[in-house]
Structure 1
Amino acid sequence: MSSRDTIWGTHKEAIEERLKAFHPDLEKYIASFAYETVYDRPGLDLKTKELLAIVMLVSLGNPQELKTHFRGVVAAGGTLQDIEEALLFAIPYLGFPRVIGAFEVLRSMKGFASSEP
């Protein structure tokens, strides 16, 4: 199974259609470069790559893309606690507002609930 299939999981068709709706070539570029070139490189396991992706997306302020990669962490063998720890680790580098926003996205997702009240 490719990294893209693992990360996108049951949402693959919806993600592909969303990207194609922006532009017909966008999904192809993301699939071939981001996943088949970058994600499929050896050296880091998929869970680690997904945790890095989450922190980078938080830094860029891309909450819509966070949902895909939160699910991707779990699909790659990670846990909710892994996600929360990565977000908490990002605070001194990215700031409280960005991390709080990421926790809000995480809290809004069905099947994901913070271990903290």
Structure 2
Amino acid sequence: MSINLDELSVDELEKLIKQAETALDKKRKAELKNAQAVLEKMAKDLGVSPEALLKDTAGNKKATRKKAAKKKTGVRRPAKVKYRDPNDSSNTWTGRGKRPLWLQGALEKGAKLEDFAVE
């Protein structure tokens, strides 16, 4: 079925749209009834009510979501500063990763790591 839409007037197009929407609504209702019949048959074969069948399905989805929600995602909080340069308070180190150059230089000159600890 092919309709040349270019040949239709505005009124004819609007009428066609309304007819299509009505037909679509009827098809959806028919498919819903068919799905309900299939669901009822499956429930009957399993010996449960359709409501119980749907409830179990919804429960399984929630359990899956809860497991997924337990995964730790998102932004990490910044680590606390553990060491600070007494000569320049903007020089800090959390104790993680490579030691910063300001701290390496001070340690090479004989300073102790404890001298820079933040209390």
TM-score strictly above 0.5: no
Compare CA radii of gyration and give the structure with the larger one: 2
Please report the TM-score for the alignment, with normalisation by the length of structure 2. 0.21
Greater length-normalized contact order (CA 8 Å, ≥ 6 residues apart): 1
Q: Higher helix fraction: Structure 1 or Structure 2? A: 1
